[in-house]
Structure formats: C-alpha cells, structure tokens
Amino acid sequence: MKIKKYVASTMSEAMKAIRNELGEQAVILNSKIIYNGGFLGLFKKKNIEVIAAIDPKPDQKLETKVSKASRSSDEDILQKSVQQQTFYDYDHLAKEVKQLKNQLNSISSSYKSVNLKDYPQNIQEELIPLLHQELEEKWVIEIAKSLNEKWRKSDANVSKLQLKEWKREWFYQKLDNLSFGSIDYDKRYIHLVGPTGVGKTTTLAKLAAEAVLVHKKKIAFITSDTYRIAAIEQLKTYANLLSVPVEVVYKREDFQKAIDQFRAFDLIFIDTAGRNYRDFQFVKDLKDLIYLDHQELVSETLLVLSLTSKQKDMEEVTNQFRSYGIEKFIFTKMDETSTVGGMMNLILNHQKGAAYITNGQGVPEDIHEANKRFVVDQILEDISI
C-alpha cells in the first residue's frame, strides 16, 4: 500500500493533488487542520493536512512465486492484526454505547422533571434538543409554555418550521435589551478578568491584534498576573510581535505609574491573574490592585469563562465578580465542548450580553464577535464555528 501526506490551503486543492498522483482509487485515511509559521500561535497560516493511500493491484506473477510458508506467515500476521482491530473496535464501540446511554439517561431525567409529556408531541420534539444542550429547566419550561400558548391560539396546522421560528423569537425577545458585540473602542481601559485556565492571555492577544491590525489603534498592555512567570513571558512575546509596550504591576503604586505612562495611548489592555475566584478575597485583592475610580467612565470589564467549565462553577465566579462591575462575557473553548447551554444560562440569569466567543488557540483568527443571532444560532445548533 502506498501512503502519502499532502498539505494544502483547502481540501479541494488537497484532493486535486491526490487524484493527480494516486488516481481516483485513492482513499483518505485522515485529515486535520494544521498551522504553519507564526510564533506562540500568533499570525499562523491555516492549512489542511490529508493522509491518502492507494492499494496497488497485486502482481499475479509475483503471487505464484510466494511460498506456502510465506503465505502462512502473512496469514498469521493478518489474523493477529484483525483480532487486535476487533478488540479495539469492540472497546471503542462499548465506550460510545456507554456515553450514549449516559446522555439518554440525562435527557430522560430532564424530560421527566420538566413534564414534557404535558405538551403536544411536536412541541416536545423542539424542547428535547434544548435539554441536550443543558439549557436550564426553568427556561425550557418558559419556552414550552410560550410555544404551547401560540400553538393553541393558531387556527391553522402548525408546522415544524413555524415552531422553530417561535422558539427563535423567544430567545430574541429575552436577549433584546442586552448588550452584545465587540469591545467599546471609545473606552481606554479594557479589563479581562476570570479564573485560571480559561485562556485570558491568549484572548487578550486576539483582541489586541484586532485593535492594532484592523482598527489601527495605539495600544499597550498592563498585567498583574505575577503568579505565573510563563504568563508574563507569553504576554511579552505577544507585545513584541505587535510592537507594543507592556508593564508588569505588583502593587497599587505600580498600576498608577503604568496608567500615567500610557496616558497618550488609545487603548490599554489589562490582564489579570488567574486565581480561584470562587473565593471572594481574591476578587477583593484584584479590585484593590486595579481600581480605576476616576477612570470609571472610560473603562470596560469583560469576564472570561470557559464553556468546558461546570455550570455551577461559572455561576459562582460570576456572582463573585458582581460587585466588580462586569459589562459583558467572553466565552472560550467552544471547540472543546458539545454543549453551549451554559453560555445561554449565564446570559439569561445575569442579564449580561457576550462580547466574543473563541474556538481555538489561533491568534487572531479563532475568535468571533458575539451578537444575538450568533448566540441563538449556537443554542439552536443551526450553525457551528
């Protein structure tokens, strides 16, 4: 079997190269997105890597010369390989069945608790995907009542498409008065706060790259993340690549000096330490260190949360930061989870919109500006990013 690797900017280009070299009988063994060039994830070029193979037709003349012993040996090897693959397939299948069973049990439990059987079958079918997305029961019940009321008032037969539209309208109405979209470029100070491991520094670099490269802003970095040397070095590397200054602050006086130093800049991005912000004391310490009392009208604070986190943990962190003054959420790691109900739950529970959603480590491409339609599309699984 002839196996070759191809790298191209698009899948169609890769397939063209495969057909030209291996022919129409070639099969794709694997494909994945890779990044070339760049440094620390910044300005990398996205490509497609494809592994293809072709099994040449056996040479009949050569086959007649193969000894019986050799064929026997090959058959033993093949049999062993098939057995190993069978064991792997069985184990893999068992894991998938177990995972599916857990999902069904979860949906069944939610189904029972929200009494979906009280509603017509066509409405139930619109609610079950929301439970699978882990939307909270109270919101599912509200949607169920809304759909049921409109269904009863309708004189005509209600189509599946109409129910979907009513469901979308419910979300739009709930989000109507909330603020969505990118950072406010009229503000001079942009704070990113949140717990450890959510990707604040990488997200900060994405926002900074957009500000410099797209909006042509003169920016600077301030970081108080003195707990992790690696985080400081990472931010300094991003700063060097963007040719912008960065200051590390350890105490209140350092922060004030940095503010004075960057007074002539358009935007100052402020990175903060990732700590256990379920503890209110850490939030208080941060507020004591970075507090823009006289700058309040020109600052914006964004809470960064990972969609891979538990709903309860995200709620606790958000509640701890309530006194800090959060304008919007940034949700990260959407590419690492199959459910986005937590995002919608937080938005609805705390009446705060979203600024961005990230779905990868690529800087600056793996970030998407949030708006009502984009967020609703995710919970309704109409599109993927």
Together in a domain, 339 and 258? yes
Return the closest-CA partner of residue 171 out of 385, 378, 383, 384.
378
Whether 78 is covered by a domain: the verdict is no
Last residue of a domain, one of 128, 147, 175: 175
Together in a domain, 198 and 310? yes
Residue 139 to residue 128: CA distance in whole angstroms: 12
Number of domains in the chain: 3
Whether 340 is covered by a domain: the verdict is yes
Residue 111 to residue 165: CA distance in whole angstroms: 22
Tens digit of each residue's pLDDT (9 = 90 or more) over 39-51: 555 556 677 787 8
Together in a domain, 310 and 206? yes
Together in a domain, 143 and 200? no
Last residue of a domain, one of 149, 175, 201: 175
Together in a domain, 236 and 204? yes
pLDDT at 232: 79
Q: How far apart are the first and last CA of the chain?
A: 36
- List, in sequence order, the alpha helices (H) in 214-270: 229-242, 252-261
**CB of 133 within 8 A of CB of 379?**
yes
Whether 83 is covered by a domain: the verdict is no
Together in a domain, 195 and 159? no
Low-confidence spans in the chain with pLDDT less than 50? 58-71, 74, 78, 81-82, 85-88, 107-112, 294-297, 384
Together in a domain, 283 and 347? yes
Last residue of a domain, one of 129, 148, 175: 175
CATH code at position 306 = 3.40.50.300
Q: Please classify residue 343 by burial: count the beta carbons closer than 10 Å to its beta carbon, then call 0-12 exposed, 13-18 middle and 19+ buried.
A: buried
pLDDT at 63: 45
Whether 100 is covered by a domain: the verdict is no
pLDDT at 112: 47
DSSP state of 100: H
Together in a domain, 167 and 221? no
pLDDT at 165: 95
pLDDT at 280: 60
Whether 93 is covered by a domain: the verdict is no
Model's pTM, two decimal places? Answer: 0.69
Whether 82 is covered by a domain: the verdict is no
Together in a domain, 278 and 149? no
Sheet of 246-248: strands edge to edge?
246-248, 219-223, 267-271, 189-193, 299-306, 328-332, 353-358, 367-369
pLDDT at 341: 94
Residue 292 to residue 224: CA distance in whole angstroms: 14
Together in a domain, 317 and 239? yes
Whether 48 is covered by a domain: the verdict is yes
pLDDT at 364: 72
pLDDT at 70: 47
Residue 52 domain boundaries: 2-57
Whether 384 is covered by a domain: the verdict is no
pLDDT at 331: 96
Together in a domain, 336 and 279? yes
pLDDT at 43: 59
Residue 124 to residue 160: CA distance in whole angstroms: 11
Together in a domain, 302 and 204? yes
